[in-house]
Amino acid sequence: MSSMQDTTTTVARPAGPQPDELDAAEPPSFEEFFEGEHGGLYGALRLLTRDGHEAEELMQDAFLKLLERWDRVRGLDDPSGYLYRTALNLFRSRRRRLRTAVARSLRPAPAADELAEVEAREAAAQALSRLTPRQRAAVVLVHVLGFTSEEAARAMCVKASTVRVLAGRGRAALREGVGEGDG
């Protein structure tokens, strides 16, 4: 009977560390962690974002941040929790930036200075009043309304060359008027 006790107490164990000892001693590599977590994280982010592409981008960004800190994260009690918290922080940050961008784009434009517009229009009208009626018509048609000299000529019932001469003389008179106003 004593020989039977010897065989039962000496059970052969495989050489090397046991699975329980590996889990306690050696945290998983990043690749192993990624393989184990990416499916669940993608699914959670897909439900959160309702967009597969955005979920994938957030998942990649979260794993990238985790990889940058893997030396510290791998020793944590729950690296999965750190991964999910990182992904949710990225999601919140992205939403916050999006809200800010939308708010900025929807802000009303600053109110136009109506007084300055009236003053500019009055100054232009005063400067144009110094021109002859034909010069004024040529300048307005060509330079303000953007007509070609041929189109302006048809509107004024003159030749295109006449419109070019009238517009040139009108511009010269306006330059002289501006020079006199400054002095």
**For the segment 160-179, what is each residue's pLDDT rounded down to a tens digit?**
999 999 999 999 988 887 76
Asked if 100 and 132 sit in the same domain, the reply is no
pLDDT band at residue 17 under the 50/70/90 scheme: very low
* pTM attached to this predicted model: 0.47
Please report the pLDDT score of residue 181 as a whole number: 55
pLDDT at 50 over 70: yes
Domain that holds residue 162: 128-182
Burial class (CB in 10 A: 0-12, 13-18, 19+), 41: buried
Separation between Cα atoms, residue 33 and residue 28, nearest integer Å:
6
d(CA 17, CA 68): 29
- Whether 35 is covered by a domain: the verdict is yes
Q: Give the model's pLDDT for residue 25.
A: 54
Taking all residues of the chain, what is their mean pLDDT, rounded to a whole number? 83
Residue after which a domain boundary falls, among 104, 138, 169: 104
The pLDDT, as a whole number, for residue 179 is: 67
